[in-house]
Structure formats: structure tokens, C-alpha cells
Amino acid sequence: MNAPHPPEPAAFDPRILRRALGNFATGVIVATASDGEDRVGVTANSFSSVSLDPPLILWSIDKRSGSLPVFRRASHFAVNILAMDQIELSNRFARPHEDRYAGVPWRPGLGGCVLLDGASANFQCERTGILEGGDHWILVGRVLAFEDKGTAPLLYHQGSYAMALPHPHRRPPQDASGGDAANDLRARLADHPYFLMTQAVRSYQESYQPRQIQTGWRPGEARLLMILNDGPARDMTALTRQADMPQHQVEQTLDLLRSRGLVERTPDGEALTADGATQVCGIWAMARSHEERVFARFERAQVETFKQVLRGIIAAPA
Amino acid sequence: MNAPHPPEPAAFDPRILRRALGNFATGVIVATASDGEDRVGVTANSFSSVSLDPPLILWSIDKRSGSLPVFRRASHFAVNILAMDQIELSNRFARPHEDRYAGVPWRPGLGGCVLLDGASANFQCERTGILEGGDHWILVGRVLAFEDKGTAPLLYHQGSYAMALPHPHRRPPQDASGGDAANDLRARLADHPYFLMTQAVRSYQESYQPRQIQTGWRPGEARLLMILNDGPARDMTALTRQADMPQHQVEQTLDLLRSRGLVERTPDGEALTADGATQVCGIWAMARSHEERVFARFERAQVETFKQVLRGIIAAPA
């Protein structure tokens, strides 16, 4: 699955190309507009800042999108950058055929565009161009006004929702009390539990990842297999919620897993095949053995205290 | 700083607009090309997938970039999506005037494009368009070949490098042993230390963030203030490394902090002003009080064990 793909454009399996493109992590936007009659909004991750002077941004919309006619008629659009807690909003504006704005708090913006409450930022734009982009149109807009809340963002990576964590360069805390007297910040961080948690998460992820990659499955694919291991899934919405993936991504991933013979359609819904169940066993065994390796140096009581404190932090009221 | 910005395009402070656009998290790419004579590469985050059929992608390049002539002459370009451990590469290809490829392992690609070892994915493209984009050109390419390693990505958010963490929906672990007998996965996760760590990080971040936002400073800005609190900085490269930010972002952030009177140029280098030092005191006091609030429910010995286990995980060999 990691082999290079040859220069034969016609031969690309779009599922495999999409999977490769998923390596580029992005935020998630809901682009909105209205033509005076209809009010539309679509979830996208194909957003890009283009220019500061003049202030230009772009995003792309599927040519088959039902919302396209309104975006073409509207003179303006808004881009709402979703915050970490707006998964439901992302899923809602990604699904077709629904009154997407029902129950969603919003305010009107310039030229009929729509500003969603709770976004990390929004940009109200006058549309300055619609460019040809294969199966999509590229919409370019000039920013006329913006709001910047700065809240933690919702991320999209390898088909799954994700969150951003400050990049913790690996700096062994042991060094902190070392020779460099001026290094006060480093000493403070080395004793700061949140900083230590982010470093520990990175360290664990870093050592686990080579094994995860060897399985050939992306985290979202492995997660779907593990969920189906608990029993067949009939309700696509529930599966979407459980997997932390958008519904179209769940469908595409099931499609891929079916083509590899790991999942099949049954009267009870999507179900693991015997091969699928074997894969899940392997994934769990690998996760367990890695966990044991990392925690072998600690006493049982220490690990229990560790988990207890983690559970306490998780349960803490905001 | 969170107030809406009015629709007066000419009045935008580009620093404030750039700061708002930074809410959209992205991966980091190095785009490469050669014209047979010169070999160029530039770091960018303005990458976007456009179309699957035909397979099209785009990215934007500053019109003032010294590498632009080669990208214009070259028939092909490659996009390398950087992995989490490629910060140095990102910084190297973001700085002008240097033999950027010295010591960097690479392979030649189609039409003279350059594939960097260790990237999460790469896409070799034939350039199909150069579109007008204000102070940037938008380069569109048709994907001819690609590689997909799937490694954890380097992220860029609010001016700082970041990493992606699977989105941990807040599901109280206490529920795990509850009524739903089929929920085997949930029960397993509720006892899995890595999953608990990611949930705890999210929970802590979630409760800390409203306070962080109230300060008006983005994490990267606060980090620079805290670093300068240890003493003036003369060496911009060292500061860049310490801050986990690209050099141009460090410079832009210092510029912003100077304009707010928190940082000043001194014979010893960039230094905090008295106002800057007061800000740092406030940030540390806030961090400490939040930490105390979260950990108040635990006994001192529990917290010590907790930190000890975290340090052990951080120090664990990969």
C-alpha cells in the first residue's frame, strides 16, 4: 500500500489518491451564501489563504453540489472556520438534502453570506473569481471583513476528525535542572503536568506509529474495523458519530474495506468478515504489546494511580 | 482583539488579517522543481486538493519569491507533505539565500521535480496553470504519480508548529462499564492509558482555553514572551528552534509584540519591556492557578506518581 504509484493518470484508483491526499491535514470550513431566496452552506477542507494585499482566499466546491447554483448567483460568500467542538455542524453541512440551518445559530453577513456562531474565525468575502478546477470549481474571494476568536480548531486528517496539539519538541525533562541556569522556562515546563502530558502523548505516538503503519491501515480504517468488531452496524449516523469521521468518509472507508474483503453487507448491516475479525485481533494484540512494553518499567500501583489521575482530569468540570 | 473588523479593505492591518487566517490549521509542504540548471524548493502551507477526476492540486507562491522563475520555467513540480519530525526541513526551505538542498536526502522525480526523503506523501505534477492571485501566483498541477507513507504530519496553526491528535470525543470513561454490554470497544478504551492521555489532554486544553483566550495572546505569542522572560535573545535561529515557529513567524510575532510595547530591541538583542514582564507574570499566574484547580482533588503523592509515569513514557526508547 506504500508502493509508489506509476505515472499513468488514467490508472489512478480515486480512493487511493484521496487516501494519499488525506496526508495533508487541514482545518474544516463551512462556506455559506444566499441569493436572497435560498441560503446554502457546505462543509469543505479545500480552503487556502492566497494573498494579503489584496486580501484573497479560495476554496473549492464540487461541480455536482446542489448548493452550487446559489454560490454562483450570490455576489458574496463567507468562510467559517470550525472550532474543535463543531463536529456536529461539520457533519450537518456535509450531508445533502436537509434543512441545514434548522436550529443552527447564525447571523447575516455582507451580501447575504451567513456567519455561524462559535466558529474560530470567519471571513466575509466578495467573490472575485470562479476558476475551472476539474470536477470542482475554485471560488476566489476578496476579504471585506473578518472576525477572529482564536478558539481551538477542528482538524481533518487521513479521513478522521482530529485536534491540534502544540508541537512538543522532544526535550528530555531530565535536562531541565542541568547546567543552563538561565533556562528557567525549561525548568518550569519540566514540572508542568500539562506540558508533560503533551510530551508523553507525542512520545507514545512516535513509538507506536511505525507498528501502526506496518499494519497498512490508517487510524480511521482501524477504528471502523474495531467498532464493527462489537457487532454489525446498520445506523450510518451512529457509526459516523462513533468513528469521529464524516459520513461520506465512513462510506468511502467501508467501500475500501469491502473491496479488501474485511467488511460485508449482511441483513444485520455492515459486518466484519472472518478476515476482518482476524485483522482486529492483530491490531489489538499490537496495541496491547506496545502498551505493555511502555509500561513494563512501572509498578502496577503506579499505573493504576496514573490512570486514576487521568480519569480525574477527564472528569474535571471546565 | 476579538472585535469584528469592519468592511474597509484598505484599512486592514496585514498582521491582524494574517493572524486571523492562522486559525485555519494546515499541513506543511515543500514544493520543488528544477529547470535543468537550478533546483528550487519552498515551504508553503497554501496547498489544496482540487479535483480527483482529473487529479488536480494547487498551491500558492509569493510573487517576490526568488524561486519563482524556476517554477515558471519548469514543466513539472512536486509537492512533499512534511512529516511531524521535519521541522528543520520546513525552516530550511522557508529561509531565503542558502543552498537549501545541502545535506538533504532527495530523489529526482518527473520533469526535474524533487522528492524529499521522509515526507508523509508526495505528489509529482505536470503544471497545468498559473493563476493570478494578488501578491501570489496560484500554481495548479495534474498529479502524474504519488507516494503515500502515511506518517504523522507536521502541522501549522496560529503561527506555530503543531501535531495532530485523534479527536477524542468527550466520553466519560465511567460510562464504559455501564449498561451497554455490546460496547466492548468503549470498555477497552476506557482502560487504555494512551486513549486516556489523549482525552485528558483535550479536557485540560478545553478548560484552560477560555482563560488563555482572555489574555488576548495566541499560544505562540505567549511562548515568545515566556522565552524572552529568561533573558534577551540575539540569535534568531536559536529563538526559532526554541519557539517551534518558523523564523519569519518569529519575526512577525516580535514585530507585533514590539508594536504593543511588550518587546524592544536592545544592545543585548530582543528583550522584554517592563510591560512585557508583567504580561508574563500574568500568564504564569494563570497557568499555575488552572493547574492547581485541576489537580486540587488529588493527593500530592498521586500527582508525583503521575508526573513520574509521564516522565518515564517521555524517556522511553522508541
B49-72 per-position pLDDT tens digit? 999 999 999 999 999 999 999 999
Q: Do A150 and B49 touch (CB under 8 A)?
A: no
Q: Can you give the pTM of this predicted structure?
A: 0.91
**How far apart are alpha carbons A166 and B126 in whole angstroms?**
35
Task: Please state the rounded mean pLDDT for residues B268-282.
Answer: 95
The predicted pLDDT at position A237 comes to: 85
Quote the pLDDT of residue B119. 98
User: In this complex, which of B58, B121, B200 lies closest to A23 when CB atoms are compared?
Assistant: B121
Per-chain mean pLDDT for chain A: 89
pLDDT in tens, A263-312: 999 999 999 999 999 999 999 999 999 999 999 999 999 999 999 999 99
Q: Considering only CA atoms, which of B116, B111, B107, B121 is closest in space to residue B141?
A: B111
* All three cell numbers of B233: 535573545
- Chain B residues whose CB is inside 8 A of the A231 CB are 182
Which segments of A74-183 does DSSP mark as H helices, in order? 87-94
Distance from CA of B240 to the nearest CA of A (A): 12
Residue located via cell numbers 455490546: B182
For position B212, what pLDDT does the model report?
87
Buried residues in B94-126 as b, exposed as e (16+ CB within 10 A) = beeeeebbeebebeebbbbbbbbeebbbbbbbb
Strands (E), A64-153: 76-81, 106-108, 114-116, 121-133, 136-148
Residue B167 to residue A165, Cβ atoms within 8 A? no
User: Tell me: the pLDDT tens digits for A205-216?
Assistant: 888 888 888 888
Q: Do B58 and A48 touch (CB under 8 A)?
A: yes
**Residue A71: in which H helix or E strand, if any?**
helix A68-73
Query: B82: which DSSP letter?
Result: P
Cell of B143: 498529479
CB A144 within 8 A of CB B7: yes
Query: What is the rounded CA–CA span in Å between residue B40 and residue B124?
Result: 15
Q: What percent of chain A has pLDDT over 90?
A: 69
Predicted pLDDT at B176: 42
Tell me what the mean pLDDT of segment A96-108 comes to: 86
Q: How far apart are CA A226 and CA B187, in angstroms?
A: 12
List all residues 6 or more positions away from B50 whose beta carbon is below 8 Å from its beta carbon: A46, A60, A133, A134, A136, A138, B56, B57, B58, B140
Given a cut of 80, whether residue B103 has pLDDT beyond it is: yes
The DSSP secondary structure of A21-64, one letter per residue, reads HTTS-EE-EEEEEE-SS-EEEEEE--EEEEETTTTEEEEEEETT
Rounded Cα gap, residues A89 and B202, in angstroms: 19
Residue (of A222, A232, A233, A231) closest to A281 by Cα position: A222
Q: Which residues in chain A have Cβ-Cβ distances shorter than 8 Å to B16?
A: 148
Q: Is the pLDDT of residue B76 over 90?
A: yes
What are the start-end ranges of the E strands in chain A? Answer: 26-27, 29-34, 39-44, 47-51, 56-62, 76-81, 106-108, 114-116, 121-133, 136-148, 154-157, 160-166, 263-266, 269-272
Complex confidence, ipTM: 0.91
Residue B7, amino acid: P
Question: Using a CB-CB distance cutoff of 8 angstroms, which residues of chain B are in contact with residue A16?
Answer: 148
State how far the alpha carbon of A288 is from the alpha carbons of A281, A293, A303, B100, in Å.
11, 9, 15, 42
Kindly report the average pLDDT of chain B as a whole number. Answer: 89
Q: What is the mean pLDDT of residues A21-38?
A: 96
Cα–Cα distance for residue pair A150/B21, rounded to 1 Å: 10
Give the dihedral sign, CA A155/A157/A161/A163.
negative
Structure confidence by residue, pLDDT tens digits, B142-190: 999 999 999 999 999 999 999 998 876 655 444 444 444 445 787 888 8
Q: What is the pLDDT of residues A66-80, one digit of tens each?
A: 999 999 999 999 999
Give the gap in angstroms from C-alpha A68 to the nearest C-alpha of chain B: 16
For residue B28, the chain A residue with the least C-alpha distance is: A24
Higher-pLDDT residue of B98, A229: A229
pLDDT, position A160? 93
Binary contact (A60, B81; C-beta < 8 A): no
pLDDT reported for residue A317: 62
Rounded average pLDDT over B11-38: 93
Tell me which chain A residues have a C-beta less than 8 angstroms from the C-beta of B205. 152, 163, 165, 194
Band of pLDDT at residue A49, cut at 50, 70 and 90: very high
